[in-house]
Amino acid sequence: MFGEVPGLPYLPELPARGVGADLVGRSAALLVDLSVEVQPSGWRLTDRPGRDHQRAVDHLRRDLDGLEEIGHDYSGPLKVQVCGPWTLAGAIELRHGDKMLSDAGAVRDLTASLAQGVAEHCAEVRRRLPGVTEIVLQLDEPGLPGVLAGTVPTASGFGRLAAVEEWRVEESMGLFDRPVVHCCAPGVPFGLLRRAGVRGVSLDAALLRRAQEDALGESFEAGIMLFLGVVPGTDTRLADPGVVAKPALELWQRLGFAAERLAEQVVLTPSCGLAGASPAYARAALAACRKAAQVLRDDPANGRPGG
């Protein structure tokens, strides 16, 4: 990770390790004054930390130890990612009831707890890696479109939770330090995220529809960055750098923005992470993103390395 993406390394997530290393459990380990445990139906709030909560904390501590060992002399920006509050609220159940998403007060408490925990997490990263100049925070929100559309199932699975008003989501984003919001689901709410003042939006190129491009263009005009997933997240044959960069090049040309801004506002990434990839493929995929990014920098007008 430090070797293949030296311009923006990140703290990896390894969910295949099991309970506590998954998206929800890892982020729940950061919550302040809220404890969780795994029940047959999934993660649930509890009165006190239990074995599953402690397992999640231990996974994260070991990851930070590894980050410190490898990156102790690193200088530059670093990215960390956590599950966003709305996806988290749609996954964690109340102690005796439905999902936290069903209770507006519980969601407020969850969001405040997560924001405090994330701030402490970032401070810990800075303490371990004093050369880090900036922490880029990514909120993973695959459940956000469903939250806004009212399609999140109840705990029983027989109903749907009510849609959440956009202003509530906008307000919650203000508790985090200008995050990049990642959403690997159709219907990314570009307008909402722009109004919320996020730093960037991350999505898979294959999920972007022409009907969304006007809203995306408005986001670009507002200075928002796009983290575009262009490399498959599981083992496959990787294309040449020019082919990998093609979705970004064609999108930029359709929107009609100045070519020199492309490399400043678009970051090429794997599609929805590399959790299902082999270590060798993960390294190759990150290298492919870096080489394709060079295409954007060299000659964004035609996708060929410049002279």
Same domain, yes or no, for 127 and 266?
Answer: no
The three-state secondary structure class of 187 is: coil
HSE, CB side, 13 Å, CA atoms: give it for residue 198. Answer: 29
Shared domain for 49 and 103, answered yes or no, is yes
Would residue 191 count as lying in a domain?
no
pLDDT band at 298 (very low <50, low <70, confident <90, very high): confident
DSSP per-residue string spanning 152-185: PBPTTSSSBPPPPPHHHHHHHHTTSSSPEEE--S
Question: Is residue 302 scored above 80 in pLDDT?
Answer: no
Instruction: Give yes or no: residues 161 and 216 share one domain.
Output: no
Same domain as 16, residue 156: yes
| Higher-confidence position of 305 and 53 | 53
**Residue after which a domain boundary falls, among 177, 208, 223:** 177
The residue whose two tokens read 């209770």 is 103
Where helices occur in the chain by DSSP H, the ranges are: 23-28, 51-71, 85-89, 104-128, 144-149, 166-173, 190-195, 213-221, 241-255, 262-265, 279-298
Mark which of 116, 147, 177 sits at the end of a domain.
177
Nearest to 83 by CA among 118, 54, 51, 48: 118
Same domain, 163 and 204: no
pLDDT band with cut points at 50, 70 and 90 for residue 304: very low
203 with 229: CB under 8 angstroms? Answer: yes
Same-domain status, 5 and 146: yes
- Torsion-angle region of 170 (φ positive above 0: left; ψ -120 to 50: alpha; else: beta): alpha
Mean pLDDT of all residues in the chain?
A: 93
Residues 220 and 118 in one domain: no
Q: Inform me whether the pLDDT recorded for 148 exceeds 90.
A: yes
Query: Are 291 and 245 members of one domain?
Result: yes
- Report the Cα 114 to chain-centroid distance in Å: 15
114 and 19 in a single domain? The answer is: yes
* pLDDT at res. 305: 43
Give residue 257's domain range: 199-307
- The closest alpha carbon to 93, from 52, 39, 51, 140, belongs to 39
> Structurally, how many domains does the chain consist of?
2
Question: Do residues 210 and 173 both lie within one domain?
Answer: no
User: Are residues 138 and 228 part of one domain?
Assistant: no
pLDDT of residue 307: 33
* pLDDT range class, residue 301, cuts 50, 70, 90: low
d(CA 74, CA 242): 30
Report the amino acid identity of residue 106.
A
d(CA 89, CA 132) in angstroms, rounded, equals 31
Residue 151: Cβ within 10 Å count = 12
Residues 172 and 218 grouped into a single domain: no
